[in-house]
Amino acid sequence: MTERDTHRVIPLMDQRASSLPLPSTAFDIQRRILPHGLLSDTRGRDLRDLRISVTDRCNFRCNYCMPKEIFDKNYTYLKHADLLSFEEITRLARQFIAHGVQKIRLTGGEPLLRKNIERLIGQLSELRTLDGRPLDLTLTTNGSLLARKARDLKSAGLQRITVSLDGLDDAVFRRMNDVDFPVADVLAGIEAAQAAGLAPIKINMVVKRGTNEQQILPMARHFMGSGMVLRFIEYMDVGATNGWRMDEVLPSAEVVKLIQTELPLVQLAPSQPGETAERWGYAGADGQHDPRLGEIGVISSVTQAFCSSCNRARLSTEGQLYLCLFAEKGYDLRSLLRADASDADLANAVAHIWQNRSDHYSELRSALGPDTGPPVKRVEMSYIGG
Ligand code: SAM
Ligand code: SF4
Ligand code: SF4
């Protein structure tokens, strides 16, 4: 049976139109929270990381994310007027930074499809963290337009980049992107990013059992010693349309074991607290990590929930604030922006929303067991960004 035969597509329930009410305390001048660089939620998690989706469109149709059967020519994408403008994004980003955000990742959909994205990068790159350092500014892309754009992205102020690549074999890659896009063009994009000095480069590979696990070793061999960090991501039950099943998840522990059969690995300490990827270094002849050979990462979003250290907020293309990748609804910050709210009002709303946050979906999934299956109303990853 082919993957297409077994692929289950679940009709889309559009979660984009509805949003959560902004907390009433956000408008209470007596309870105004002034930003001071540290904002904790109900589980003691500080706001540090912001993902901004700049478009809900994509030129790929990876079936774990935007299955062709749903995202077809009849699918209604957001209208241009509904998207946050670059000025609106930058203004909101400033409020998040005032609350302690140090890292911003642009994502989507495919962020390089957003017209003049370089202009937004230019604006964001001028922002400074509270202690005066440049932001850690990065972007996740499918790499299809990277060969053309890498140099301009770098000149605009982008520091580093993450490229998604689910295999090296052309047939497997074309099947996974489902638009017959050749792998050679993404590899050329990665080379262009290296040449432009976007560093360090991370490569993200979503592993789907029965689809691309045979690509794990070729990918590990290819990127070993390249200076790039290959990260294997467990296939997640995000969104509501990809027909996710636990038996298609290949646990990271198995990925590590498979690579170890050929390329010895040693586990490395996390480089920063709250890091989502577990790090494994390639070992040299002495059995110790050889930094020249580099390292891989495994992101076990399904088998080892990391909610307890999740410090990430997500801003959708139309300015809804999501507190969890698996949320059903977000908070409509655009309505505040477009109602002439002051910066203090915006910062105050963000503070009240984050302080009330209690999301920990992956932990609940682990506690309830793997066959619980996804609720059907979650927002799509292509809308809030991965
Ligand atoms: N289009 C860009 C790309 O593919 O890199 C950025 C957006 S994409 C939604 C961000 C990341 O989410 C990609 O690395 C993608 O592989 C990952 N992703 C999407 N759906 C996923 C799923 N069901 N499970 C795990 N990762 C997923
Ligand atoms: Fe597009 Fe990225 Fe989703 Fe693939 S994972 S469909 S490239 S948004
Ligand atoms: Fe964070 Fe939600 Fe993922 Fe848990 S499930 S790590 S809270 S995004």
DSSP assignment of 142-171 equals -STTHHHHHHHHHHHT---EEEE---SSHH
Q: Whose CA is nearest to atom 3 of ligand 2?
A: 65
Name the residue of 233, 235, 255, 316 to mutate for ligand 1: max ligand atoms within 8 A of Cβ. Answer: 233
Is residue 142 within 6 Å of ligand 2 at its C-beta? yes
* Separation of CA 285 and ligand 1 centre (Å): 35
* Separation of CA 60 and ligand 2 centre (Å): 6
pLDDT at 376: 52
pLDDT tens digits for range 172-204: 999 999 999 999 999 999 999 999 999 999 999
Strands (DSSP E) found in 39-155 = 49-53, 103-107, 136-141
Atom of ligand 3 nearest to the CA of 363: 4
* Separation of CA 141 and ligand 1 centre (Å): 9
What are the boundaries of each domain within the chain?
3-384
pTM, entire model: 0.94
Name the residue of 142, 204, 235, 379 to mutate for ligand 2: max ligand atoms within 8 A of Cβ. Answer: 142
Q: What is the mean pLDDT of the chain?
A: 92
pLDDT at 3: 46
pLDDT at 9: 60
Q: How far is CA 319 from CA 77, 92, 240, 281, 316, in A?
A: 15, 9, 21, 39, 5
Is residue 39 within 6 Å of ligand 2 at its C-beta? no
Instruction: Read off the DSSP letter of residue 260.
Output: H
Is residue 65 within 6 Å of ligand 1 at its C-beta? yes
pLDDT at 8: 60
Is residue 306 within 6 Å of ligand 3 at its C-beta? yes
pLDDT tens digits for range 5-50: 445 665 555 656 579 988 877 777 788 899 999 999 999 999 999 9
Atom of ligand 3 nearest to the CA of 362: 5
Q: How far is CA 115 from CA 16, 85, 121, 319, 328, in A?
A: 22, 11, 12, 17, 28
Instruction: Read off the DSSP letter of residue 22.
Output: P
* Separation of CA 82 and ligand 3 centre (Å): 26
Q: Note whether 92 and 356 are within 8 A (CB).
A: no
pLDDT tens digits for range 116-146: 999 999 999 999 999 999 999 999 999 999 9
Instruction: Read off the DSSP letter of residue 291.
Output: T
Check whether 247 has a pLDDT greater than 60. Answer: yes
Cis check: omega of the bond before 200, within 30 degrees of 0: yes
Mutual angle of helices 170-177 and 183-196, in 10-degree steps:
90
Atom of ligand 1 nearest to the CA of 239: 23
Q: Note whether 48 and 100 are within 8 A (CB).
A: yes
3-state SS assignment for residue 357 = coil
Is residue 325 within 6 Å of ligand 3 at its C-beta? yes
- Which option is the CATH number for 3-384: 3.40.640.10, 3.90.550.10, 3.20.20.70, 3.20.20.370? 3.20.20.70
Residues 6+ away with beta carbon under 8 Å from 321: 313, 314, 315, 330, 331, 333, 350, 353
Q: Whose CA is nearest to atom 7 of ligand 1?
A: 108
Distance CA 372, CA 79 (A): 35
165: left (phi over 0), alpha (psi -120 to 50) or beta: beta
pLDDT at 238: 84
